Amino acid sequence: MSIVIETHDLTRRFGDLTAVDHINMKVPKGSIYGFLGPNGCGKSTTIRMLCGLLLPSEGSAVVLGVDVQKEAEKLKRKIGYMTQKFSLYTDLTVAENMEFISRIYQLPKATRQQRIQNQLQLFGLSDRRKQLAGTLSGGQKQRLALAAVTLHQPELLFLDEPTSAVDPESRREFWEFLFDMSDQGTTILVTTHFMDEAERCHALAILDAGTLVADGTPAELLANLPAKVVELESEGIRQVREKLIQLDGVIDAAQIGSRLHALVRPSIASPVEYLRAALDTDLSATLRIVKPNLEDVFVMATQARASNT
């Protein structure tokens, strides 16, 4: 298995603030590797270091065989970086933006127009060639940004919360493009705070306050969850939740519609009976063990970090 990104104790400090704290990770070629975490957890800072845009305060990172601290310039032709904010020129047309980007990447003049045409066709923008980029819809802007950042056929693509401002249909369409690129050998590192997007990744790193608190495939993370998940339906669900989160054996309880998802510590042998005993006056409550989801994994990982700090 070829490793495209490898870090050892990668750290970045801004004064007294440690934004990224001793991250160790390996990303194999052709995979979609997700960074899951809340805003401010260090996802974007990590990407900027991996791109060579920001020097680490400590530790190291090798990307596509290049030490980012010593030879960052070598990476520019091999990677693509798409930021959360639309960064193309809104007062240029779709075609003009693509032409400008092609010159930035110094694509050969003989093949430049054919490459632009292929990208616009691939991303469904051929009929928008003459339209100003600023007048595109959110989903169309997203496709244009992806078409531009992959114009030079990068080996590695960094996507920093690329779908945060688009509708669910555009998000699904965007991920189909990512799977196609991954299938063709492009490695993709994507940051997100959407749990459904995290489930689509081949592997995940969960970050919290600059620390990598869990990593693995979604299936591995779910299988190794150190808790039992009990789903509970009851009248007065808010009052029930308040009662549950006071229990020593309950790590967290989150409301999902009219139900509660309760994370019960593994030391509790019979989670359903334990919770039912705590709710002995609520005979209407329905409790059952259910499979965990990635939100449960995230809660457990961050709770564990908080209890250790």
Give helix 138-149 / helix 168-183 axis angle, nearest 10°: 20
Instruction: Locate CATH 3.40.50.300 in the chain.
Output: 3-222
Q: What percent of the chain has pLDDT over 90?
A: 69
What phi-psi label fits residue 260: left (phi over 0), alpha (psi between -120 and 50 degrees) or beta? beta
Question: What is the Cβ-side half-sphere exposure of residue 241, based on CA atoms within 13 angstroms?
Answer: 15
Report the C-alpha gap between 193 and 141 in whole angstroms.
Answer: 20
Predicted pLDDT at 219: 94
Residue 86, both tokens: 């639309």
pLDDT at 281: 64
Threshold 0.85, pTM exceeds: yes
* Arithmetic mean of pLDDT over the chain: 90
Average pLDDT over residues 58-81: 91
Dist. CA 238–CA 258, nearest whole Å? 10
The per-residue pLDDT for range 21-61, each reduced to its tens digit, is 999 999 999 999 999 988 888 999 999 999 999 999 999 99
Residue 230: alpha-carbon gap to chain centroid: 27
The matching CATH number, chosen from 3.40.50.720, 3.40.50.10860, 3.50.50.60, 3.30.70.100, for 226-291 is 3.30.70.100
> Residues 81-109: pLDDT tens digits?
998 777 889 999 999 999 999 999 899 98
Query: 3-222, what's its fold?
Result: Rossmann fold (3.40.50)
Closest CA to 10 of 203, 211, 206: 211
Instruction: Write out the residue limits of the CATH 3.30.70.100 domain(s) in the chain.
Output: 226-291
CA distance to 49, 232, 273, 293, 296, per residue, from 286 (Å): 49, 6, 11, 20, 20
308 CB contacts (<8 Å, ≥6 apart)? none
pLDDT of residue 283: 64
Least confident residue range of 23-27, 73-77, 242-246, 283-287? 283-287
- Check: CB of residue 107 under 8 Å from CB of residue 113: no
* pLDDT (average), residues 239-244: 90
| Per-residue pLDDT, 19 | 96
Per-residue pLDDT of 162-221, as tens digits, reads: 887 778 888 888 899 999 999 999 999 999 888 888 999 999 999 999 999 999 999 999
State residue 31's pLDDT score.
96
